[in-house]
Amino acid sequence: MSVSRRSFLRGVGATGGAGAMFGAMGALGLAPAAVAAPTAAFTPPKPSDFSLTGRSARTVLVLGAGIAGLTTAYELGKAGYRVTLLEGRRRPGGRNWTVRGGDTETDLNGETQRVRFAEGQYMNAGPARIPQHHVTMDYCRELGVPLEPFVNQNANALVHYTGDTALSNRSITHRAAKADTFGYVSELLAKATNAGALDAELTAEDQEALLVFLRNFGDLSEGDRYTGGTGRRGYDVAPAAGLESGTVSPAPSLEDVVRSGIGRNFSFELGWSQAMMMFQPVGGMDRIPYALEKAVGPSKVRYGCEVTGVRTTPTGGEVDYTDAAGVPRTATADFVVNTLPPHLAARVPHNLGPGVQAALETPVPAPTGKIGLEYSRRWWEEDARIYGGITNTDLDLAGIWYPSSGYHGERGVVVGYYNYGDAARSYAALPHAQRRQRAVVNGAKIHGDVYGKDIASSFSVSWGVTRFSEAGWVGWADQEGQAYRTLLAPQGNVYFAGDHLSHAIAWMHGAMTSARATVTALHQRVMSS
CA distances from 250 to 55, 232, 255, 362, 463 (A): 68, 11, 15, 53, 43
From the CB of 8, what's the least distance to ligand PHE, in Å?
A: 53
Q: In the β-sheet with 335-338, what is the strand arrangement from edge to edge? A: 301-302, 82-86, 59-63, 335-338, 494-496
From the CB of 149, what's the least distance to ligand PHE, in Å?
A: 15
Question: Toward ligand PHE, which CB reaches closer, 136 or 457?
Answer: 136
Q: Determine the Cα–Cα distance for residues 109 and 86; give it in Å rounded to an integer.
A: 25
Question: Toward ligand PHE, which CB reaches closer, 117 or 507?
Answer: 507
Question: Toward ligand PHE, which CB reaches closer, 395 or 504?
Answer: 504
Question: Toward ligand PHE, which CB reaches closer, 23 or 472?
Answer: 472
Contact residue for ligand PHE among 58, 100, 129, 287 (CB under 6 A): 129
Question: Toward ligand PHE, which CB reaches closer, 189 or 506?
Answer: 506
Nearest alpha carbon to residue 119 among 239, 324, 283? 283
From the CB of 298, what's the least distance to ligand PHE, in Å?
A: 27
Q: Determine the Cα–Cα distance for residues 524 and 529; give it in Å rounded to an integer.
A: 9
Number of chain positions touching ligand PHE (CB under 6 A):
3
Kindly identify the residues of this chain, within the stretch 325-354, that bind ligand PHE according to CB under 6 A: none
Angle at 379 between CA 377 and CA 380, to 5 degrees: 130
From the CB of 127, what's the least distance to ligand PHE, in Å?
A: 6
Helix, coil or strand: residue 124? strand
From the CB of 19, what's the least distance to ligand PHE, in Å?
A: 38
Question: Toward ligand PHE, which CB reaches closer, 136 or 486?
Answer: 136
Question: Toward ligand PHE, which CB reaches closer, 305 or 371?
Answer: 371
Question: Toward ligand PHE, which CB reaches closer, 134 or 523?
Answer: 134
From the CB of 508, what's the least distance to ligand PHE, in Å?
A: 8
Region of residue 94 (phi > 0: left; psi between -120 and 50: alpha; otherwise: beta): left
Q: Determine the Cα–Cα distance for residues 319 and 335; give it in Å rounded to an integer.
A: 10
From the CB of 129, what's the least distance to ligand PHE, in Å?
A: 5
Angle at 334 between CA 332 and CA 336, to 5 degrees: 75
Q: 290 and 67 in contact (C-beta within 8 Å)?
A: no
Instruction: Note whether 97 binds ligand PHE by CB under 6 A.
Output: no
Question: Toward ligand PHE, which CB reaches closer, 217 or 420?
Answer: 420
The two beta strands, 278-281 and 316-322, are unpaired
Length of the chain in residues, anyone?
A: 529
Angle at 111 between CA 109 and CA 115, to 5 degrees: 135
Question: Toward ligand PHE, which CB reaches closer, 69 or 399?
Answer: 399
Q: 519 and 75 in contact (C-beta within 8 Å)?
A: yes
Instruction: Note whether 507 binds ligand PHE by CB under 6 A.
Output: yes
Q: 305 and 325 in contact (C-beta within 8 Å)?
A: no
Question: Toward ligand PHE, which CB reaches closer, 150 or 321?
Answer: 150
The two beta strands, 158-160 and 389-393, are parallel
Instruction: Note whether 285 binds ligand PHE by CB under 6 A.
Output: no
From the CB of 272, what's the least distance to ligand PHE, in Å?
A: 10
CA distances from 266 to 181, 275, 415 (A): 10, 11, 20
Contact residue for ligand PHE among 135, 506, 515, 526 (CB under 6 A): 506
CA 120 to chain centre: 21
The two beta strands, 412-420 and 368-375, are antiparallel
From the CB of 48, what's the least distance to ligand PHE, in Å?
A: 20
Q: Determine the Cα–Cα distance for residues 27 and 40; give it in Å rounded to an integer.
A: 18
From the CB of 35, what's the least distance to ligand PHE, in Å?
A: 44
From the CB of 466, what's the least distance to ligand PHE, in Å?
A: 16
- Give the DSSP H or E segment for 209: helix 204-217
The two beta strands, 316-322 and 473-475, are unpaired
Residues that bind ligand PHE (CB under 6 A): 129, 506-507
